[in-house]
Amino acid sequence: MATLFKDVYISDGSRTIAERVHLLVSKGRIASITDARENPPSADKIISGRGKMAVIPGFVNAHTHAAMVLLRGLGEDAPLMEWLKNKIWPVEDKLTPEYIYWGTLSAMLEMLATGTTCFADMYFEMEGVADAVLSAGMKAALCRGITAGEPGKIERSLQNNIELAEKYHGREGLITVQLGPHAPYTVPMEAMKSITEAAKSHGLGVHFHFLETKGERDNLGMTPSEYLEASGLDSVPYANLAHSVWLDPDTELHENISLIHCPCSNLKLGSGIMPLPSWLDRDVPVALGTDGASSNNRLDMWEEMRTAAILHKGASMNPVCVPAVDALRMATYEGARAFGFSQKGMIREGWAADLVLVNLDSPHYIGVNGENLAAYLVYAGSSGDIAGTMVNGRWLYRNGEYPTLDREEIMQKSHEARKAITE
Ligand code: NI
């Protein structure tokens, strides 16, 4: 089925000026982009924008723990390690595969309504997460969080992560799989080496928490460069380093490394502010993520994009850094690229029709035009402006409804899971 977005603005992370076009979606891809002053192509379904709607790429949440929506609100206003040890890890022990499945679906309701088409998830019981992703028709980059514990735990988790890759990597074009060592403070160096060796031999990327807090940097025992080399992270097919708040900005990074900025989670946990402008100045790829809903507490990439764009202007007293278009690119294309999705995250012919339809017919868009649309979206807009979210040309969220998901059942099962793990 072909869907035509007739006379809409298109904006993405490569356009400083938004064009007014007819955008045709067919067979899951962007089939054509033509000038809005020309006659539109024919289609089965027509969405008439009349210049009052915009189409942007779907957001890619490059770091989250989706099922942690079930732990939202537990242990607020506490430092990271205290929060993890006292509030999160004891409750996580009660999570079952079923709870994680429903929690992930519940997170997907939030993500789709706020424009996310793809999320990079690190958790456990990931087969259920993969099944939830496939049943919804979303895209996801999945890894099993690997942490030390009783003897043999790391080996078993790594084996489980490799099996996840064998079963789901590339599945229906919706899923990529990475290996997921949790962090330097939960995975000993020797185990890191065996995980990166496995990544190399299986051709997999790695998703890793790195230098989220100052204490973690103080206890690393070596420079970040030395750590990346000693662990083998700088020679795996690709490594995506979540947070990197305390990664020294003069660190030389190999080209296989991308950083994932989680500004709201870092702010809320008091972890600090990543030196983003330094990385952007050096063309180091940086994507954006929310982190889990129990540390953010939202899964709203639009807010993450806006925060990334304004936070560093204030922190560095430089209103020129992190322009709106850069923030939009980090929230969309950079995450897709970092996690192995090709032709996703820009509005281009032939690329995946993973799109967000934005309603511009609101007071806060008065004065919007092609020249200023990106800035309006990033600074004035919010996920409340979203009229629909599409993955591979299929609506997964449209005007408050979820065509592929049973919202009531997901809500009920998630309420039950929350009750079971917290009582
Ligand atoms: Ni995290």
Condensed to tens digits (0 to 9), the pLDDT of residues 32-47 reads: 999 999 999 999 999 9
Cα 165 from Cα 169, distance rounded (Å): 5
pLDDT at 80: 79
Domain 59-338 classified CATH 3.10.690.10?
no
pLDDT at 141: 98
Q: How far is the CA of 369 from the centre of ligand 1 (A)?
A: 37
pLDDT at 77: 84
Q: What is the mean pLDDT of the chain?
A: 97
Q: How far is the CA of 348 from the centre of ligand 1 (A)?
A: 31
The token pair that represents 333 in the structure block: 């294309």
Q: How far is the CA of 196 from the centre of ligand 1 (A)?
A: 19
Q: How far is the CA of 215 from the centre of ligand 1 (A)?
A: 16
Report the alpha-carbon angle 147-197-205, nearest 5. Answer: 75
pLDDT at 1 over 90: no
Tokens 């889990």 identify what position? Answer: 292
Question: What are the boundaries of each domain within the chain?
Answer: 3-57+351-398, 59-338
Q: How far is the CA of 166 from the centre of ligand 1 (A)?
A: 24
Q: How far is the CA of 112 from the centre of ligand 1 (A)?
A: 20
The per-residue DSSP string of 201-262 comes to HHT-EEEEEE--SHHHHHTSSS-HHHHHHHHTGGGSS-EEEEE-TTS-TT----TTEEEEE-
Q: How far is the CA of 244 from the centre of ligand 1 (A)?
A: 11
Answer whether 123's CB lies under 8 Å from 67's CB: yes
Q: Which CATH superfamily is domain 3-57+351-398 in?
A: Urease, subunit C, domain 1 (2.30.40.10)
Q: How far is the CA of 53 from the centre of ligand 1 (A)?
A: 34
Q: How far is the CA of 138 from the centre of ligand 1 (A)?
A: 20
